[in-house]
Structure 1
Amino acid sequence: MVFLSWTRPSPEEQKACINKSGSFNYDNKFRGATEKPAPLLKQDKELGKDGFYVNYARVLVGSGLETFEKGKDALQNWRHFGLNWSFVDPKTPIQSGSKFCVCVKEVFPWLMMPLQVVYVSENKNLKKGVASFSFGSGTLQGHLLAGEERFSIALDENNQVWYEILSFSKPAHLLSYFGYPYVLLRQKYFAHHSGSAVRKHLSA
């Protein structure tokens, strides 16, 4: 099952995709694994045994609490998907259990890939000058990949603000199985452009 559209997917098409998607397509024992710090996730031997590949990107997007708050707002409004070739309905609420579609243009057709928010996490310790906001989403039936992805924005002890993408994935369809090297390249391509989109939003 693959969800395709020859034109930019409408809200109705995205809703239909979500309604047909069903449940998560990866093992429950890995649900929420992206809450771990990136180094620990990369060392997770169970993920490797199950054929998952860990992808990680970290981009410096500014400094200060105000920038962090703007970055948090950017994630909550899906600004990190503000691309010509990839988007998420900005009205999608960032809350556990919320289902949505990532719409991606690949050459001629658009792909609609269903996911569900697994967790939302926010921490602030302004006495130490640190704060973070993140959410993780898991793939549903009908997604070309199986796995989970976390987006986060964090203010560190040096007053720097970082945007991070952390995911683990493996092919869940013949299309992605045969084209997985291309998929991995596209993940890196997305990370680069998503980081640029966040920086652009913060400097606006």
Structure 2
Amino acid sequence: MSHGPFWIRRPRPTRLAQLLDEQRSASLSYPEVGATAGHLPSGYHTVWEALVLGRGQGVFERAAEGIRAWTPQRGAGIDLVPPRPELAAGESLLLSFRSFPFHVTAACRVVYVVNEPDRYGFGYGTLPLHPEAGEEAFIVERDGEGEVRFTIIAFSRPHVLLSRLGAPVARRVQASVTRRYLEGLAEAVKPP
């Protein structure tokens, strides 16, 4: 029986793999694909949060490696299916996490990757098995002075009834997860 994105207990690994397989051929659940790389669309809740990680090439390289290793998501307590998704446009994945009283499964697809000398990151968009519809980007940039900044940009709106009914709670959860994303990468880039 399908539970949508909300479960009372964490689905078994085989069920998570099956859910992901079902989502691989699905279309994204919103039309503004790639908008986190430019102008955010109207009609959505938006997030634009940034944190200075430090300065220099070493910090930038560690931050880019952290993005490649999905460190922000792992630092926020999110499990990934598959455990190490390829960071490539078109790659589908499942985010799995606890948000009391539910266990949430959220299917996403990488919609773009940025790989430039002073800028690295990606954006992923929601698939039908996700409580929200929208997109989120994770970008690290090094400016001309060497300062390295990690920015999270997102736009979303409720996609399923429970998300609409619990919209204020969903926004608090999103704010908490965004903070944990930032903190997770900040911790990972500290010098050894």
Query: Is the shorter-chain TM-score for this pair beyond 0.5, marking a shared fold?
Result: yes
| Separation of aligned partners in 2, 1:67 and 1:91 | 22
| Separation of aligned partners in 2, 1:108 and 1:193 | 19
How big is each residue's C-alpha offset from its partner over 1:16-74, in whole Å with a ceiling of 9 and x where there is no partner? 121223221112xx1111111xxx43xxxxx22xx212111101111111111110110
Q: Contact between 1:63 and 1:160, CA under 8 Å: does it hold in 2? A: yes
SS in 2 for 1:117: strand
| Separation of aligned partners in 2, 1:9 and 1:66 | 39
Q: CA deviation at 1:86?
A: 2.2
TM-score, normalization: structure 2?
Answer: 0.89
Q: Is 1:117 aligned to residue 110 of structure 2?
A: yes
| Separation of aligned partners in 1, 2:12 and 2:51 | 31
Query: Which residue number in structure 2 is paired with residue 196 of structure 1?
Result: 183
TM-score, normalization: structure 1?
Answer: 0.84
Query: Which residue number in structure 2 is paired with residue 34 of structure 1?
Result: 36
Query: Which residue number in structure 2 is paired with residue 169 of structure 1?
Result: 156
| Separation of aligned partners in 1, 2:147 and 2:72 | 19
Residue 121 of structure 1 aligns with an amino acid whose one-letter code is: V
Q: Is 1:107 aligned to residue 111 of structure 2?
A: no
The CA RMSD over aligned residues, in Å, is 1.8
| Separation of aligned partners in 2, 1:123 and 1:10 | 38
How big is each residue's C-alpha offset from its partner over 1:72-104, in whole Å with a ceiling of 9 and x where there is no partner? 110111111123642324411100110001112
Change (3 A) 1:200 1:8: farther
Q: Contact between 1:145 and 1:173, CA under 8 Å: does it hold in 2? A: yes
Change (3 A) 1:7 1:31: same
Of 23, 28, 31, 1:24 maps to 28
Count of paired positions: 186
Identity %: 24
Residue 168 of structure 1 aligns with an amino acid whose one-letter code is: F
Q: Which moved more, 1:174-183 or 1:17-26?
A: 17-26
Q: CA deviation at 1:108?
A: 3.8
Q: Contact between 1:148 and 1:167, CA under 8 Å: does it hold in 2? A: yes
Of 38, 49, 64, 2:56 maps to 64
Query: Which residue number in structure 1 is paired with residue 16 of structure 2?
Result: 14
How big is each residue's C-alpha offset from its partner over 1:170-193, in whole Å with a ceiling of 9 and x where there is no partner? 111011111112111211111111
Q: Is 1:88 aligned to residue 80 of structure 2?
A: yes
Which structure has the highest helix share of the two?
1
Q: Extract structure 1 runs of 4+ deviating beyond 6 A.
A: none
